[in-house]
């Protein structure tokens, strides 16, 4: 069995779903922080350098839904995800899904899990991991449950999920240096329109580099 790991934002999707979610919250009055746009810009710069404090970033994104019920958030997330999949699913996305249609596919993303779940369902991918928000008495607390699903945590969750399952090959796709642990863990690594740091690593290790979105 071949097992395929997809990062989601800017990899399986041609865009950043979590950044789109932050913008969506601001446009719909859920994000009250006046410095929101500047904070998002700084978080994005830190992420691209590989220096992002994921816990701080995730709790910033969770702050607008603190106290909301799971159902209230679900009612907002479902139409939002329909829109972003329509916008961000491109020919490269479909090509990857078609290429691995006979393999077992898994989406692993640092994005909030209620977004990853909806996107995975819309793309027809059954197994997914995201960053889990804490829920108490049916409401979001504004905190993260466990560790954010970034870096080494992606590998930790996959190993736990795999258990004793027998896998002949693993393939990982990502665009970001933050996914270096996942790419190193896999028997085959493919970097998709990678950031500059990841491109350097990929060249030095002889990994496949897919620049199809740049070409388009």
Chain-centre distance for alpha carbon 70? 20
Q: Which residue has the higher pLDDT, 90 or 35?
A: 90
143 closest CA partner among 36, 21, 55: 55
Task: Tell me whether strands 208-210 and 139-144 are parallel, antiparallel or unpaired.
Answer: unpaired
Q: What is the pLDDT of residues 133-149, one digit of tens each?
A: 999 999 999 999 999 99
Q: What is the pLDDT of residues 104-115, one digit of tens each?
A: 999 999 999 999
Residues 117/130, Cβ–Cβ less than 8 Å: yes
Phi, psi of 76 (to 5 degrees): -85, -40
Domain of 106 in residue numbering reads as: 2-215
**Domain total of the chain:** 1
Residue 69 pairs in a beta bridge with 139
Residue 89: which CATH number? 3.40.50.1000
């Amino acid at each position: 069995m071949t097992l395929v790991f997809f990062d989601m934002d800017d990899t399986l999707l041609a865009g950043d779903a979590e950044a789109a979610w932050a913008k969506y919250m601001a446009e719909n009055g859920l994000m009250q922080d006046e410095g929101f746009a500047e904070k998002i810009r700084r978080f994005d710069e830190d992420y691209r350098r590989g220096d992002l404090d994921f816990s701080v970033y995730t709790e910033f994104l969770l702050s607008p839904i603190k106290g909301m019920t799971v159902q209230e958030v679900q009612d907002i997330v479902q139409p939002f995800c329909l829109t972003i999949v329509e916008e961000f699913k491109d020919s490269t996305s479909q090509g990857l899904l078609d290429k691995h249609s006979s393999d077992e596919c898994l989406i692993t993303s640092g994005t909030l899990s209620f977004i990853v779940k909806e996107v995975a369902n819309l793309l027809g991918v059954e197994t997914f991991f995201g960053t889990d928000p804490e829920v108490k008495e049916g409401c979001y607390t504004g905190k993260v449950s466990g560790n954010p699903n970034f870096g080494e945590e992606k590998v930790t969750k996959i190993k736990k999920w795999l258990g004793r399952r027998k896998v002949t090959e693993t393939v990982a796709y990502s665009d970001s240096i933050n996914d270096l642990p996942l790419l190193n863990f896999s028997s085959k690594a493919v970097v998709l329109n990678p950031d500059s740091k990841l491109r350097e690593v990929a060249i030095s290790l002889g990994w496949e580099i897919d620049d199809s979105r740049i070409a388009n």
